[in-house]
Structure 1
């Protein structure tokens, strides 16, 4: 393990076990299988963790089903909200532990991990408020009922039931919390499957859920491989809904499986987000803002702004500024306070990203900076900028999920033409526009086919702001009121009085 300072609580957790959480009990996987988590910055072992399979998923779903029909269903809304707030306080009290686990398991810089842990607490506070505001409506009864006498029609909002939550490895704690908070606020019970690359923080979160006072079985956590535990969870007949964040290819497979049983499904999938920089943009803000749109979290985030469209008038100055910014980014272990970019999640991911970089180097694109990997320990790739790209190149078309930027110029002032460039992708998750002209900003935003677009910033997400994609970037919206609606059914009731 790294020689950088680690909180004693973190070391104690790493020296303990990482079992499954089923029915309020921490248990080993039924098949006795385990795997090992490694620090992506050093390649050193962090901890062993238990692996669950289809039989463990079956036990977890049974526990969730029992809890859904038990005391959890009978809790008043304010009691449900109280538990969510208690969990938020537990997260805050263990913020350093959770942040350090994220750094060690995922590789992200500590400052980012600390911000993410704070956001996780905020998520549970935010949805605690919505838990207290679940309400239906009244409306006019149908005419044929009214003809027979007085009547009343109203709607009820009810939880969908047992939900399966499948989260990725890029921001593991955040992804778990952004699905847990609204599903619990809605009154569902949960089986959570973390990513096998980053299992550690979810187990600690499970302990905090128990300490907050949630009834046994309301939240069950089964670490396991996607092809075993994940597949079993998606196919389970007692699971009413699946929420998945990950690749578009896997999302399509899940959608096909859920269609067979008409299981509800929400998907937050891939992205290849456009960033449009107009000639009047403030380069003192655009240079670092656009650079971090790509390099944030080592480029391992679905909303990364990796397709940059810059007006010819500021094209070279923007490139020069971003290259200097990238070259000054300190790569290193996330626990080093000076680190701006950590490692990629695995050697496999590093090799994948370097394959895209090799394609870029073999194309007609201009390598402005980066394009290298470290020879030593860790899965590091330098921040990389390609210029003079064209839309047919792989580095422009495909989601790389690494610190690789593709920049191309435009000369037109026609916003429809500019938007056509930005929309030339199967994805539609995020994007940003950089200009001082509010008219241009609003008109461009209205033309970009993405679920989330920012102006003079990128990736402006928060608990109250709905987030999700168009086209192959997914179905549904997370965060905000829309995030909780994913876990609610609407029932219409008419009474002839």
Structure 2
């Protein structure tokens, strides 16, 4: 176009056009118009190129990764244990069937160091990427999860014992939600945020910047082998970090496959897959992670006793820790919910028995007020009795039989103390899978707060029904807040019921779903609890920012005019007159913080008098 504008024809065209537009416009030189037109063409070209790049980033890239390997010949394990006598290897097997899946060599401290070296090297490059590049990786990852959800579910089911429906809800749906939320809202959460100033510092502008920490780590539990693994990874890499994930020994078989899914998305966009590292190790080696000064942040998902060891270890290098430790979540059904009990019963069943009760926010107690209590028992008893066990039935297997003695003891002690056992209550030998880990779906009614089963986390397929003394919020809260846990809760009642609001306000938990179950996680609200359920939050804006160094930056608003902080003479060293200087500095305080105009004026006069 520049060439065209330089031709004689273009000059003639310009002069004729200007003549038509009038004398005033004719004063615009041809050269000025030429420059303006060139700049406009350049801007349009840059806009078009940017749109092409954005379109390219918004188009997910397709990639494939191999699934986990299983032995060519189907066989069941001789002993259903991950720890073999005389061997350091981890035995992997399917808890629903007892199928032998393979052996995994645990990571050593030296292997962990090598993983950290690789992650740090990759993160040094990754931290310089922009949010558009990170979104592109997550968008490709989301597409892969959606395209391969059946295979992901089958692998998760094989390694953990859950059913395909439970895997769809607990592995895929929540992962897709976290990916979508981060893609849509992650940049907004991590963009530098402006902060207010004050009268004395009007010439300053303030902001908080969210910068990568470096390489972070997560120690995750086995109950959701895909989602618990990938959740911390999504937040870590979007915040610009590298991450090392310690996988539970119970689900070591699926870890390489799930790792390759994330790495495949990185490679598809030309990034170093070493940004993500996964290790599997025995507990005695885990301290090499938790006490490692090269790790900038820890996320722990597990039990309170193990977390106490992790926290003590992390305290040595003062590594920040988010701890999610499970709960004894209550589902509270108020008198005003009596007309909605059919729907509520369905929610209670799903909330209690999903993943065989092995969910940190699973419903562990149903606290019903007097009016709906008996009707709930009538609705739930036949439904629980009808539940079938098996890998393709209603309720899947538990991860192992290690808790069976404890669960049977909790049930029997509750019955001895007056509870009614209406279904289940003991382990189950499956006729088709005798080496599978099954516990019969259990219903206990008339449980009281002093019983152990009302205080201790079961983490199994056990439904506990408790009758509150009245519909008064104080009585309900006394039951609900009795255990040491405080993770989540559900409250069912009419929206207009004042007791509903009082109970929601009075619950000592980190999360509450009103007339529903666990929906706070399905919309990426910050996730976590208090008391025995841990501290800190992941998910949502708070969780994403927790993966960053929140750097406070105070800058000169008018530095370009030379307006900067200067120490006034009365405050300079050496101080010439302490009394006069004190009156001056007092005047500064009164001017800045006096709550009336008179005090501010007095402060200003003190400043002027003592300069």
Asked if 1 retains the 8 angstrom alpha-carbon contact of 2:328 and 2:363, the reply is: yes
- Tell me if 1:120 matches 2:172: no
Task: Determine if the alignment matches structure 1 residue 462 to structure 2 residue 529.
Answer: no
Per-residue deviation, residues 237-291 of structure 1 (Å, max 9, x unmatched): 1001100111112122222222232211101112001121122322111222223
Q: Aligned to 1:172, what secondary structure does the other structure show? A: coil
After superposition, what is the alpha-carbon deviation per residue over 1:70-115, rounded to whole angstroms, capped at 9, x for unaligned?
x101112211111111112222232222110111111111122123
2:508 corresponds to 1:449: yes
What corresponds to 1:240 in structure 2?
296
Corresponding residue for residue 404 of structure 1: 462
1:173 match:
226
Structure 1 residue 220 corresponds to structure 2 residue 272: no
Are 1:58 and 1:236, in contact at CA under 8 Å, matched by a contact in 2? no
Looking at structure 1, the residues matched to 248 and 230 of structure 2 have their Cα atoms a distance apart, in angstroms, of: 14
Say which SS state the counterpart of residue 179 (structure 2) adopts. helix
Cα distance, 1:404 vs. partner?
1.6
- Residue 305 of structure 2 is matched in structure 1 by 249
Deviation at 1:437, TM superposition (A): 4.3
CA-to-aligned-CA distance 1:291-315 (integer Å, 9 cap, x gap): 3322221111111222221122232
1:33 positional shift? 5.3
SS in 2 for 1:472: helix
Count of matched residue positions in the alignment of Structure 1 and Structure 2 = 466
Distance 2:397 2:313 in 1: 34
Paired position in structure 1 for 2:184: 129
On the 8 A contact 1:10/1:100 being kept in 2, the answer is no
- Normalising by structure 2, what TM-score? 0.72
Are the structure 2 counterparts of residues 122 and 16 from structure 1 closer, same or farther at C-alpha, using a change threshold of 3 Å? farther
Per-residue deviation, residues 414-435 of structure 1 (Å, max 9, x unmatched): 2122112111111111111122
Match of 2:107 in 1: 52
User: Which residue of the other structure, out of 534, 537, 541, is the alignment partner of 1:477?
Assistant: 537
Within 1, Cα distance between the matches of 2:152 and 2:254?
6
Q: How many Å separate the matches in 2 of 1:142 and 1:284? A: 56
CA deviation after TM superposition for structure 1 residue 171, in Å: 0.9
For 2:130 and 2:105, locate their aligned partners in 1 and report how far apart those are by CA, in whole Å: 35
Structure 1 residue aligned with 2:38: none
| Deviation (angstroms), 1:141 | 6.0
Matches within 5 A, 1:36-435: 36-69=91-124, 71-115=125-169, 116-133=171-188, 134-139=190-195, 151-212=204-265, 213=267, 214-228=271-285, 230-281=286-337, 282-333=340-391, 336=392, 339-376=393-430, 377=434, 378-435=436-493
Instruction: State the shift of 1:40 in Å.
Output: 0.9
Instruction: Indicate if the aligned counterparts of 2:291 and 2:315 stay in contact, CA closer than 8 A.
Output: no
Q: Is the 8 A contact 2:66 2:257 kept in 1?
A: no
Q: Scaled by the length of structure 1, what TM-score is found? A: 0.88
Aligned twin of 1:29: none
Judged with a 3 Å threshold, the aligned counterparts in structure 2 of structure 1 residues 360 and 139 are, in CA distance, closer, same or farther, namely closer
- Give the whole-Å Cα distance in 2 for the aligned partners of 1:72 and 1:10: 22
| Closer/same/farther in 2, CA of residues 142 and 279 from structure 1, 3 Å limit | closer
| Structure with greater strand share of residues | 1
Deviation digits for residues 156-188 of structure 1, max 9, x if unmatched?
111222111111011111111221111111111
- 1 CA distance for matches of 2:175 and 2:221? 16
Q: 2 CA distance for matches of 1:152 and 1:392?
A: 57
Contact 2:68–2:253 at 8 Å: present in 1 too?
no
Aligned to 1:428, what secondary structure does the other structure show?
A: coil
More helix by share: 2
Any conservation in 1 of the 2:525–2:540 contact (CA below 8 Å)?
Answer: yes
Cα 1:139/1:332, change in 2 over 3 Å: closer
Name stretches of at least 5 consecutive residues in structure 1 with no aligned partner. Answer: 1-8, 18-31
CA RMSD of aligned residues (A): 2.3
Shift of 1:436: 2.5
Separation in structure 1 between the aligned mates of residue 144 and residue 197 of structure 2, nearest angstrom: 46
Mind listing any 5+ residue stretches in structure 2 that lack a counterpart?
1-63, 73-86, 560-611
Contact kept? 2:127, 2:212, Cα under 8 Å: no
The 1:356–1:411 alpha-carbon spacing in structure 2 relative to 1, beyond 3 Å, is: closer
- Structure 1 CA distance for aligned equivalents of residues 414 and 513 of structure 2: 28
**8 Å Cα contact 1:159-1:186 kept in structure 2:** yes
Distance 1:291 1:137 in 2: 43
Q: Distance in 2 between matches of 1:487 and 1:12?
A: 30
Aligned partners of 2:186 and 2:541 also within 8 Å: no
2:368/2:468 contact within 8 Å kept: yes
Specify the SS of the correspondent of 1:238.
coil
Q: Which has the larger radius of gyration?
A: 2
Given that residues 271 and 427 in structure 1 are in contact (C-alpha distance below 8 angstroms), is that contact kept between their aligned partners in structure 2?
yes
Matched residue of 2:389: which SS? coil
Provide the rounded CA distance (Å) in 2 between the counterparts of 1:359 and 1:227: 34
